[in-house]
């Protein structure tokens, strides 16, 4: 019996090596998205990773750095959750609120520079890369007058993430 256990373990390892790691493909021939899972303990790490990435891009372009702002974070979190409720990525809340309304509601004293949003299964850095590829969202992230940033998300049980980044003066 003792000699049988190593044999069974070897067989199990051999079989596990045979499992295909080929990604499933969608109708467009591209790999289906794999959900990026976020745990509650990742919140601070993700926000500061995004802040560091945004500031690195801004520095490379000669722009001043931005700081995370708790009020803008709150406005971004409210909107990310609301987009999920509405099941559509857009800049207006289910109550008709605009980004300006949302930053005023949380008591942010500065001006809105802009808001970027996304509906995806990708990480924050993949989302930032996609935003930087689009002229309108890139303009918000790189705005020279921006001094503060809010960044938050809402992840649905199925894995879809609703990202919101808010820049303020």
Q: Is 18 within a domain?
A: no
Element spanning 100, H or E = helix 99-105
Domain count, the chain: 1
Q: Is 126 within a domain?
A: yes
For residues 51-70, average pLDDT? 98
Q: Is 12 within a domain?
A: no
Q: Is 54 within a domain?
A: yes
| CATH number of the domain that residue 163 is part of | 3.40.33.10
Domain that holds residue 87: 42-168
Q: Which of 37-41, 80-84, 89-93, 120-124 has the highest mean pLDDT?
A: 80-84
Using the predicted structure, report yes or no on whether residue 22 has a pLDDT greater than 90. no
Give the pTM.
Answer: 0.78
At residue 78, the pLDDT reads: 97
For residues 101-124, average pLDDT? 96
At residue 88, the pLDDT reads: 86
Q: Is 51 within a domain?
A: yes
Q: Is 58 within a domain?
A: yes
Q: Is 7 within a domain?
A: no
For residue 47, give the nearest of 8, 15, 74, 18 by alpha carbon: 74
CB atoms within 10 A of CB 93: 18
At residue 24, the pLDDT reads: 60
At residue 16, the pLDDT reads: 45
- Positive or negative: CA dihedral 135, 102, 122, 169: positive
Q: What is the percent of the chain where pLDDT is above 90?
A: 69
Cα–Cα distances (Å) from 142 to 27, 33, 145, in that order, read: 36, 28, 9
- Record the tokens describing residue 137, joined without a space: 């969202």
Q: 3-state class of 166 per DSSP?
A: strand
Is 150:72 a contact under the CB 8 Å cutoff? yes
Of the CA atoms within 13 Å of residue 127, those in its CB half-sphere come to 25
Q: Is 24 within a domain?
A: no
Q: How many whole angstroms separate alpha carbon 78 and alpha carbon 58?
A: 26
């Amino acid at each position: 019996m003792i000699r049988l256990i190593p044999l069974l373990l070897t067989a199990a390892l051999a079989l596990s090596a045979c499992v295909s790691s080929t990604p499933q493909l969608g109708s467009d021939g591209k790999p289906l998205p794999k959900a990026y899972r976020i745990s509650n303990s990742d919140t601070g790490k993700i926000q500061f990773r995004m802040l560091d990435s945004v500031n690195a891009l801004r520095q490379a372009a000669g722009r001043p750095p931005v700081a995370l702002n708790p009020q803008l974070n709150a406005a971004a979190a409210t909107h990310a959750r609301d987009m999920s409720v509405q099941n559509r990525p857009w800049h207006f809340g289910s109550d008709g609120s605009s980004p300006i309304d949302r930053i005023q509601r949380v008591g942010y004293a500065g001006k809105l520079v802009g808001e970027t949003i996304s509906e995806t299964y990708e990480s924050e850095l993949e989302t930032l890369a996609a935003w930087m590829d689009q002229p309108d969202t890139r303009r918000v992230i790189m705005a020279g007058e921006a001094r503060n940033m809010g960044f938050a998300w809402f992840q649905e049980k199925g894995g879809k993430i609703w990202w919101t980044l808010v820049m303020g003066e």
